[in-house]
Amino acid sequence: MFKSIYNYFSDIYTAVRSLLTGMKVTGHYVFHPKEIITQQYPENRDELKMFDRFRGEVVMLHDENNEHKCTGCSACDVACPNGTIEIISDWEINEEGKKKKIIDKFVYHLQMCTMCGLCIPACPTDAIVMSEDFEHAVFDRSKLTKVLNKPGSKIMDGIK
């Protein structure tokens, strides 16, 4: 009987001590703020900088001549765990009379993407990267399906 009363009051003492320790730490940061952590979004869109390791949506890089590095090898499509990437390719006959695979459409289904980033290291030509874009709220889900290669784009010279 005496031991259970002792345990009861011991537990109360431990709980109050723990509560006061937590309140002490919280109170210190209330009166001594070191840095502002809260972001005033969306008012700060212009100066908002995402972290270096942030993974947003997949984008295909194009240069000023509307050329890209994608060969249509489908390595990113195979690496994607849930079928987010769909490459529609075609065959073209080059100057030597050989067939060469070219991409017709590089379709990216953002609504199915888990932002895992497995497609990026799978690409042998570094044609795709993860952007820092995180605003994807839309009213129509069809707007989340994107064609990444720009109209009239072609593969860069020297990429095989």
pLDDT higher than threshold 90 for residue 13: yes
The residue that leads in pLDDT, 74 or 3, is 74
Average pLDDT over residues 87-103: 82
Distance CA 1, CA 7 (A): 10
Indicate the CATH number for domain 58-155.
3.30.70.3270
The residue that leads in pLDDT, 38 or 82, is 82
Distance CA 118, CA 95 (A): 35
Domain locations in the chain as residue ranges = 1-37, 58-155
The residue that leads in pLDDT, 48 or 24, is 24
Residue type, 21: T
Residue 100's DSSP bridge partners are 92
According to the model, what pLDDT value does residue 107 have? 94
Length of the chain: 160
pLDDT higher than threshold 70 for residue 7: yes
Single pTM value for the model? 0.69
Residue 81's DSSP bridge partners are none
According to the model, what pLDDT value does residue 158 have? 79
- Selection from 139, 151, 160 nearest residue 71 by Cα: 160
